[in-house]
A and B are shown apart, each in its own frame.
Chain A
């Protein structure tokens, strides 16, 4: 427990000292997969809070909001990123294991968690005239996370910057491929189920008449 608390505090240090931070997470046992999962959960929770509690002026609540959708999409994005990244970095001599990748990805999300939380509070205070600041916070959170992802990848896999950026681009392509594959599998599964159901239906009709 104490260890986890210390690691969580260290995740804050990582956001401002990414090179040293990510190195320490991997090699100096300053981070753990457990903490990474806590951070991931926190991201999802903050995302749900943001969807539910953002002020009317800055989005408001949609009437038919389903938090499970947020959970699913967040988890899908996270794991497809990790998987695609792992696949590609394995091919391009990356030094990080799947666990390392999950860790640096989750630790990179810390600024997003903090800034989204601030944005939710602020969206209930700000008026439209202050929208610029609100939007700025949003952009800042995205840029910061992107920066941390790049540095995390760089440090974890011992890559050069150019290679990092190339792998990053391909990782995104990989994520899209994973999404397509999942959709494909689902569609095919649906077809099979539909086919079997039709056959059974037909058989039942034949027998009963």
Chain B
């Protein structure tokens, strides 16, 4: 009796346990908000060791005697970190350890008058120390030095054609090494406005191309003008943020993407960059971002509550870059080939979680995230795992493949769920002409193309050995058949038979 009861309890416990066991499906839903993950070849999130550790938060609610409420942009130069406060119209300067240095709020115009900023939204500091400020509220871009001596005031260009722009609302500004000024203005969807260093408007670059499918084009032919006017929603998306790297490539982020477009891009594994939240533009405005991963860099590949809304890109060491997602507070890091290395971060109230992340920048290997909701800057530093991946990029790009392999080997020890280092190891073996080993790595990484290449090399090697034998065998077989045919015919001829036609000769 008692035994039976114990048995029953045991059964119940087992049933409960079975019920509470995480099912296989749970693995494919979104990971916990701030844990690090990556995406598998098939687009499922896979947990990964933490690549970055939260180190500290710098509270910016009161800096230098000012009450800061509306932080809007952050810019990291070599020695200083600049943060734009929009409500006060003041630019604060910090050193790289985020200690307050000084601020800039008054400007001396070229004609001697003084001026202040009204709701500025973006700023940039060139390597010569020139400060570029998108003074949105005053519809102008100011170029000055850190003492506030304005050398150029960029107003709404007169030669602006083909746009019904009433007010010029510059939000972001960058300048390249030649002094050309690139401006992103609100409500301008023709691309990035480009000005010469003297402030002449020269045109737009990087206008996102608009593609209309042929069927819609056909439909439009039969529409009335009213209908046509109602459906002219084919406006290109506008950039929300731009950065410039040392090679004068402009990195623009776009958040106005429709969910359906993103889903189709992800599902079709479209790597053309037709729908993309990030672009790397060359001087001519052509998108040259490399997309060699299984999926284009678009942030999250699966989501429950909306796709990633990319608001900023941070250009990190060794040509890696990180995109900041304003929707879930994630930070997606890719290498220069567009392969996702790790994703971390999340929204919340725990340490290291953000409320309204709006800007991301690298200081060395460390990541700084500006959070306007918390009115603070969060700092993250790489873990051993993250550092290995960053270093591997460096060694690989420098051609030190052995060292890179050592890094990747260590990465695989920490995370065997990550295909990319295995491909690296496979490439190394391939370059050493160890094709069999390379194939094993490629198979592990599910990289069929590389596997196929390695196999081709093996086949070629084998073929060069065995080809003469194969040809010999074929010739021998052919001779046998021909010989048999001749023999049969000769025998028939000798016997004086006619060439009868049939299956059974007997």
Binding site for B on A (CB under 8 A): 13, 56-57, 60, 125, 127-129, 208
Contact = CB atoms under 8 A, between A and B. Distances in A.
A57 B4 contact: no
A141 to B, nearest CB: 23
Contact of B452 (A13, A129, A208): A129
Contact of B448 (A13, A125, A128, A208): A128
Contacts of A13: 503
B4 A127 contact: no
A75 B200 CA distance: 79
A82 B459 CA distance: 44
6 pairs of A and B residues whose beta carbons are closest in the complex? A128-B452, A127-B452, A127-B456, A127-B455, A56-B443, A57-B452
Interface string B443-454: 100001101110
B4 A128 contact: no
Contacts of B455: 57, 127
Interface string B342-382: 00000000000000000000000000000000000000000
A208 B456 CA distance: 72
Contacts of A125: 459
B443 A208 contact: no
A129 B453 CA distance: 9
Contacts of B448: 56-57, 128
Interface string B419-459: 00000000000000000000000010000110111011001
The A interface is mostly helix, strand or loop, or mixed, namely helix
Interface string B1-14: 10010000000000
Contacts of B459: 125, 127
A127 B450 CA distance: 10
A128 B1 CA distance: 67
A129 B455 CA distance: 11
22 contacts: A13-B503, A56-B443, A56-B448, A56-B451, A57-B448, A57-B451, A57-B452, A57-B455, A60-B443, A125-B459, A127-B452, A127-B453, A127-B455, A127-B456, A127-B459, A128-B448, A128-B449, A128-B452, A129-B452, A129-B456, A208-B1, A208-B4
A127 B449 CA distance: 9
Contacts of B503: 13
A196 to B, nearest CB: 19
B372 to A, nearest CB: 48
A128 B439 CA distance: 14
Nearest to B1: A208
Interface string B27-45: 0000000000000000000
A109 B449 CA distance: 33
A173 B448 CA distance: 38
A19 to B, nearest CB: 15
A201 B282 CA distance: 75
Contacts of A208: 1, 4
Nearest to B450: A128
B452 to A, nearest CB: 4
A174 B189 CA distance: 59
Contacts of A127: 452-453, 455-456, 459
| Most central of A56, A60, A125 by chain B CB within 10 Å | A56
Contacts of B452: 57, 127-129
Contacts of A128: 448-449, 452
Contacts of A129: 452, 456
Question: In this complex, which of A125, A128, A208 has the most chain B Cβ atoms within 10 angstroms of its Cβ?
Answer: A128
